[in-house]
Chains A and B, each alone.
Chain A
Amino acid sequence: MLSIKNLTVNINEKVILNGINLEVNAGEIHAIMGPNGSGKSTLSHVLSGKPGYQITGGTIQYKGKNLVDMAPEIRAREGVFLAFQYPVEIPGVSNVYLLKAALNAVRKHQGLDEVDAMDFLSLVKAKIKTLDMDEKFLYRAVNEGFSGGEKKRNEILQMAILEPALCILDETDSGLDIDALKVVAEGINALRSSERAFIMVTHYQRLLDYIKPDYVHVLAHGQIVKSGGADLALALEKEGYGWLEQGQVSA
């Protein structure tokens, strides 16, 4: 589904990603771990098309298409979804409006009819229940005045409505207490399918207690320095990231 080859990315002439190689197939869950400043968030931003990054080399193929050439909204309509580390507050735009506009943009792109208001509401209400959210969130402005946990749940709600093929979760566990973490993880697990892939960017292994990854990659200095199975995350939790700095990198 996703094939990243030798990707190099700069921000203002500074090298942030320095030769990333990553293959993600449908049905897989990949965790990207690493210390602060390793380039984890940059990778998720570049995949979603956030402006401000210069791609200086390499390729990103998504479902056989060149992802780099697509505008952010085209990526979204093609099934790439980024759950933000810091979801943006948008006063004056209601949650339900954004959800409907987003779903219809995706459906239109896929050649499907727009959903009618009644079908849409029953769909949303069913999804919102699974995330343990109050229906009144639908009518509030997007993320405005939401707590950290509510914002993250709202990201997962959007993901559940849009049913993307590639879900990128950027530090979704940050700022969540244990109860919120469980709810969010359940929401993500409910979306697991053989048609869908996940990339979970995270500093800690905490989230991985609830969502078991198929692969764990350690990112440092803009490169994947180690890859392994779910056990690697546990080892990282025990040892921390200090060994990366001491040059004890072994594949």
Chain B
Amino acid sequence: MVRARAGISMSTGLSLDAASLPGQSLPWLQDFRADARVQYVAEGLPTVRSEEWRYTSLASLQKKTFTAVAPAASNQVADYHSQQLLADTWRIVLVNGQVDQRLSMLEGLPEGVRVMSMAAALVEHEALIHRYLGHAMAAIKHGFIALNSAGFSDGVVVHVPAGTVLDKPIHCVHSVSHAELMVNTRSLLIIEENASLQWLESYGGIDAEYLSVAITEVFLAENAKLIAYKQQTESSHAYHFAGMYCKQAPYSCFTQHHFALGGVLARSETHTELATAAECELNGLYLGAGRQHLDHHTQITHAQPHSISREYYKGVLNERSRGVFQGRIIVEQQAQKTSSMMANRNLLLSEHAEADSKPQLEIYADDVKCSHGVTVGQLDEKSVFYLQSRGLDEASARNILIFAFANEMVEKISHRPLHAALLTAVLTRFPKLAIQPVVG
């Protein structure tokens, strides 16, 4: 077992680990990893001096020590997976950053659809991986991405051939079975012309401190469609970084529903670049309690005309938690007739909770429709009184209003088993709430 420090000495850790990483025989991958390692050694983890990280300090993470090589999985992981089983899905499971085929369930996939581990794909489909790896995020390079590129241990590769539609989601379960582990995975979703994929990532692990780093690159060809769900239910002591970086060809459609519930410090990035008439919809809900720090960074680049983006993030922040939303929208000069709407709404339930919200619009075209709005507020006392005046006690009235605020995002989920799981997860965060779903 190799000890590696997350922080300044991480460079040593990465070079020590390199021999155990997949794709050792591929010179291009060796170069790819070496470049990332050089960048990481030079820059380290991002700091608040960077505008994109100004609300999220990684100082506490810098001091931590993590183990980069996983011991065997424990029974706790099996327990975790049994809780994650969702009806009406295919399933691929990563335990401590390695695909575990025994826990996965991929029977009955449409012909030609490939769902495999990154390690296997590097052996069996090297050309495909070479063509795509690192290409969805060429312009975005911070320490976490470098760390991931240099040291990813595995991941999932999905390839949906042209015209193929998956009628139920593939559930990608990430789990961590041991304390002080750093897991680091890289995944690719390649969706060809007129194909359609539903992809659900869930993150969790034992009730301990660990670091989970996961990057997913998405390539949507013309008229392709992706609905991505992210269920972040990491341990309350865990550090989490996950990024989804997406390239959208003309007429493609990308929807993401993101639920950030766990982790002590979690950062999520979703970046996408839209070609002509492409569409994206990014929805997010973050529920903070204790001292949780939940950061969401989104970047939508309208690169070509007639593209559409819709973004809606909501946060409920209790106790000493902090929620961060940075939404950047770039409309390039040739991206005329862009339509873009962004909103971020925050509910603060404690005087010690904090919401930082920063919409950034950079518009270089002159014929566009763009709007954005941010609110940070408390529960509406008029609404509390209204419910009381109908016979509900004050605590129930408040809980119903908080739940209703959050539930708007849950109600967007049409996959019924996932909807039920998310509803349970959200209700668990409001333990005093003895209520049923309210808007049907």
B385 A51 Cβ-Cβ under 8 A:
yes
Closest Cβ of chain A to B412, distance in Å, is: 12
Tell me the complex Cα distance, A94–B405, Å: 12
A88 B383 Cβ-Cβ under 8 A:
yes
Contacts A88-B386, A91-B408 given; indicate if A76 touches B438 (C-beta within 8 A). Answer: no
B390 A102 Cβ-Cβ under 8 A:
yes
B386 A93 Cβ-Cβ under 8 A:
no
Contacts of B394 in A (CB 8 A): 71, 73
Interface hits, B6-44 → A, CB 8 Å:
none
B390 A162 Cβ-Cβ under 8 A:
yes
Contacts A73-B388, A73-B392, A109-B391 given; indicate if A141 touches B439 (C-beta within 8 A). Answer: yes
Count of residues in A whose CB is under 8 Å from the partner chain: 31
Tell me the complex Cα distance, A87–B425, Å: 32
A90 B388 Cβ-Cβ under 8 A:
no
A105 B392 Cβ-Cβ under 8 A:
yes
- Chain A residue with Cβ nearest B382: A88
Closest Cβ of chain A to B112, distance in Å, is: 42
Tell me the complex Cα distance, A84–B435, Å: 25
Contacting residue for B391 out of A51, A88, A91, A105, CB 8 A? A105
Interface check A77, CB cutoff 8 A: yes
Contacts of B351 in A (CB 8 A): none
B388 A72 Cβ-Cβ under 8 A:
yes
Contacting residue for B387 out of A51, A77, A98, CB 8 A? A98
Interface check B50, CB cutoff 8 A: no
A76 B391 Cβ-Cβ under 8 A:
yes
Tell me the complex Cα distance, A109–B435, Å: 18
Interface check A184, CB cutoff 8 A: no
A72 B385 Cβ-Cβ under 8 A:
yes
Interface hits, B145-176 → A, CB 8 Å:
none
Contacts of A158 in B (CB 8 A): 390
- Against B, the Cβ 8 Å flags (1 = close, 0 = not) of A147-175 are 00000000000100010000000000000
Contacts of A90 in B (CB 8 A): 383, 386-387, 401, 404
Contacts of A162 in B (CB 8 A): 390-391
> By DSSP majority rule, is chain B's interface helix, strand, loop, or mixed?
helix
- Chain B residue with Cβ nearest A96: B440
Closest Cβ of chain A to B233, distance in Å, is: 22
Interface hits, B382-410 → A, CB 8 Å:
382-383, 385-394, 396-397, 400-401, 403-405, 407-408
Contacts of A91 in B (CB 8 A): 404-405, 408
- Chain B residue with Cβ nearest A101: B392
B386 A84 Cβ-Cβ under 8 A:
yes
Taking each of B382, B390, B401, B405, which has the highest tally of chain A beta carbons within 10 Å of its own beta carbon?
Answer: B390
- Chain B residue with Cβ nearest A90: B383
B440 A98 Cβ-Cβ under 8 A:
no
Interface hits, A74-107 → B, CB 8 Å:
75-77, 81-82, 84, 87-88, 90-94, 97-98, 101-102, 105-106
Contacts A50-B385, A88-B382 given; indicate if A93 touches B401 (C-beta within 8 A). Answer: yes
A92 B403 Cβ-Cβ under 8 A:
yes
B436 A97 Cβ-Cβ under 8 A:
yes
Tell me the complex Cα distance, A88–B436, Å: 21
Tell me the complex Cα distance, A50–B383, Å: 11
Interface check B380, CB cutoff 8 A: yes
A76 B440 Cβ-Cβ under 8 A:
no
Contacts of A94 in B (CB 8 A): 438-440
- Chain B residue with Cβ nearest A76: B391
Tell me the complex Cα distance, A88–B390, Å: 12
A93 B392 Cβ-Cβ under 8 A:
no
Contacts A50-B385, A51-B385, A87-B386 given; indicate if A92 touches B438 (C-beta within 8 A). Answer: yes
Contacting residue for B405 out of A50, A72, A81, A92, CB 8 A? A92
Tell me the complex Cα distance, A97–B439, Å: 8
Contacts of A87 in B (CB 8 A): 386
Interface hits, B353-402 → A, CB 8 Å:
380-383, 385-394, 396-397, 400-401
A106 B380 Cβ-Cβ under 8 A:
no
**Known pairs A98-B390, A105-B393, A141-B439 / 13 extra A-B pairs, C-beta < 8 Å:** A49-B388, A72-B385, A73-B397, A76-B391, A87-B386, A88-B380, A88-B382, A90-B386, A91-B404, A92-B401, A93-B404, A109-B391, A139-B439
- Going nearest first, the 3 A-B pairs with the smallest beta carbon separation are A92-B404, A105-B391, A102-B390
User: 29 interchain pairs (CB within 8 A)?
Assistant: A49-B389, A51-B381, A51-B385, A71-B388, A72-B388, A72-B389, A73-B388, A76-B390, A82-B389, A84-B386, A84-B389, A88-B382, A90-B404, A91-B405, A91-B408, A92-B401, A92-B403, A92-B404, A92-B407, A93-B439, A94-B439, A97-B439, A101-B392, A101-B396, A101-B400, A101-B435, A102-B390, A105-B391, A106-B391
Interface residues of A (CB under 8 A from B): 48-51, 71-73, 75-77, 81-82, 84, 87-88, 90-94, 97-98, 101-102, 105-106, 109, 139, 141, 158, 162
